[in-house]
Amino acid sequence: MMFLSSIPKTITPGETFTFSLHVRHHPTSQLLTTVLIEVIGIEHTMADNWSTSTPSSRMFSCLNTVCSVDKTISTEEEEIPLSIQIPTMIYDSSKLVYCTLPPTVGSSLQIGNPTKGVCVQYFLQVRAPIGTGLAQQEITILPNETGFNIDRFVDISGNSLNRQYSTTTRLHDGLFGNINKGTVSLSGEIISGAQGEASFNLNFLYAPPLPFSVSFKIYQTHYSSHQGMGQILDATKVTQMRRIKAQTEDVLGFIWEAKTGVLSFPYTLDNDCVPNFVGVTTAVSYLFEVCLKFSCGSVKLSVPLVLGEVSSAPPAYH
**Which structural domain, as residue segments, surrounds residue 199?**
165-306
106-120, 153-167, 174-188, 239-253: which is most confident:
239-253
- pLDDT value at position 30? 74
Smallest Cα–Cα separation from 197: which of 261, 253, 250, 247?
Answer: 253
Does 218 share its domain with 88? no
Does 61 share its domain with 110? yes
Does 299 share its domain with 172? yes
> Domain holding 214: CATH number?
2.60.40
Assign 104 to helix, strand or coil: coil
What are φ and ψ of residue 108, in 5° steps?
Answer: -60, -25
DSSP state of 179: G
Predicted model pTM: 0.53
DSSP state of 116: S
The H or E element spanning position 9 is none
Give CA 205 to chain center in angstroms: 31
Does 271 share its domain with 208? yes
> In this model, does residue 235 exceed pLDDT 80?
no
Distance (Å, rounded) from C-alpha 65 to C-alpha 37? 5
Domain count, the chain: 2
Distance (Å, rounded) from C-alpha 155 to C-alpha 300? 29
Domain-embedded: residue 154: no
Residue range 97-144, pLDDT digits in tens: 666 677 776 544 333 333 445 667 889 999 987 665 789 998 888 765
Does 17 share its domain with 112? yes
